[in-house]
Structure formats: structure tokens, C-alpha cells
Amino acid sequence: MKDGDVMAGIPQKPGYEGADSSDPLATLMRARQLIHDAQAAIEEASQSVVQQRASSAEIPGREARLAQAENDREELAARLLEVEHQVGRLMTLYVATYQLHATLDPADVQSTIAEIAVNLLGAEKFALFLRDDEADVLEIRMQEGQIDAPWSGAATYAGGDRLIDASLLDGMLRFGPAEGSPVLVVVPLRVQDITLGALVLTKLFEHKVGLDEEDRELLDLLGAHAASALFASRVYARAARKLRTLEGLIKLVKKG
């Protein structure tokens, strides 16, 4: 998900720079603008240092001070780039969680989880497992790409992969590789003590080198938000079905 996609993913608020500081997105956008301003100031200072260096060779000690200033400038520029990267990820995460909770349609929530897997996590191959409470089975609701596993392409998951099984049991993240398993990471979808399913990643895109500690925090957060969004959409869907049934019964009674 690119920067342009971030703003396209949510309703726009005019004049975000002057928006209420309680708006997380407005705060993040303002932070990004401040970073850009600081980088411009650093670049201007760098040019000034170069000009001073060209005319200061005859002044004792000034060359050393200029070298120190240049080192400080480079260190600050590197830190600003890192901060900008973090702000960008937070903006993307904000949009992802917004989209998860913006609908109460279970199908839309599942599609949003798939989009997050591709655009935010860089997953080329993955599967979404969701538990059907009525049938007491774990359904494979979505699969992207051909996965080298016994359960690939099946309608349900009956167990057998130790990483997936362990994650479903205790609700903890599991990272591969493991013998006999193609899984890179299992993200459990858990609300309190209820495990609704899991997002299983088996292959990343080539541009995604791997999953680091930063990604681990992101996976934990997204797993929790995805689970709560799925739970809310299920409760709403059940309530809507009961309401339609009740309305139908009332119509029958009135006709009788």
C-alpha cells in the first residue's frame, strides 16, 4: 500500500493540517510534514557547510568543526528517514484497521484481511482459516496461490500442521520454518479466549526480504483487530438473520 493509497482508503477531512489533534491520521500527516520540513532544512544547512568549507581552509580548527557538523547532519538525516518510515507504516496501519471496522459484512471483512496480507504484510501466498461454530469445523475461506501442503485447496482444515495447530490452541504467533510445514507465520485471530481462526502466510513477495521484530508487533496488532472485526460482523449477521425471521413470522401472524 503506497502513500497515495493511504489517503484513498478513508474519507478525506479538508484541512487536515489544522485538524483536531485527537484525530490520529491528522497527527500522523502533520508529523510527516514536519519531517519533510526538517529534511529540507538539513539539506539547506548541508549546502551552507559546503560553502563555508570552501572558504575556511585558512582558519585553524574550523575544518574540524565543519566535519563534526557534517557528521551530525548525516546522523540526523538518517534518523529522520527512519522516523518517516515509521510514520508511513503507522498511517498504513491506521487505514488498515479503519477498513476492518468500517463494515459489518463478514465477506467484506474477509476481503479486507486478504488486502492487508498482500499490501501491508507482502504475502504472495496465504490462506484464511475461519471456524464454523455450527458445524464445529475450521473452514478454509480463502486461499491465494498454490501452497505445498495437504490442506491446500481443501474446503476445511482437519489439522496436521504443527505450527497451525499450536497457534490455534494457544492463540500465539508462530513463525516457520518447521519440518514438514510450508508456513512462514501463523497469525491467530483471537478475541479474549475465543479463537475464530487464523491467517497463514506461506510465501512473501520477492521485494519482501523477511519478517522482522517490527513486523511481529504489526502482526499481533492486526490479528487482534481482524479478530474483533470478524467477531462483530458475525454477531451482526446473526442478529440480522434473527430479525428477518421474526419479521417473517409477524407477517404470517398478521396474514392469519
Question: When comparing pLDDT for 144 and 235, which is higher?
Answer: 144
Per-residue pLDDT tens for 5-41?
A: 444 454 444 443 444 445 655 666 666 666 666 666 6
CB atoms within 10 A of CB 125: 20
Average pLDDT, the chain: 78
HSE-up (13 A, CA, CB side) for residue 164: 25
Q: List the grid coordinates of 59.
A: 582558519
Domain boundaries, the chain: 3-100, 106-242
Bridge partners for 200 per DSSP: 127, 186
pLDDT of residue 167: 93
User: Which range among 11-15, 177-181, 219-223 shows the weakest confidence by mean pLDDT?
Assistant: 11-15
Please give the pLDDT value at position 23. 60
Mean pLDDT within 176-204: 91
Q: Three-class SS of residue 156?
A: strand
Amino acid identity of residue 21, one-letter, is S
Instruction: Give the CATH fold of the 106-242 domain.
Output: Beta-Lactamase (3.30.450)
Q: pLDDT class for 4, splitting at 50, 70, 90?
A: very low
Kindly report the pTM of this predicted structure: 0.66
E strands, 133-178, where?
137-144, 156-157, 174-175
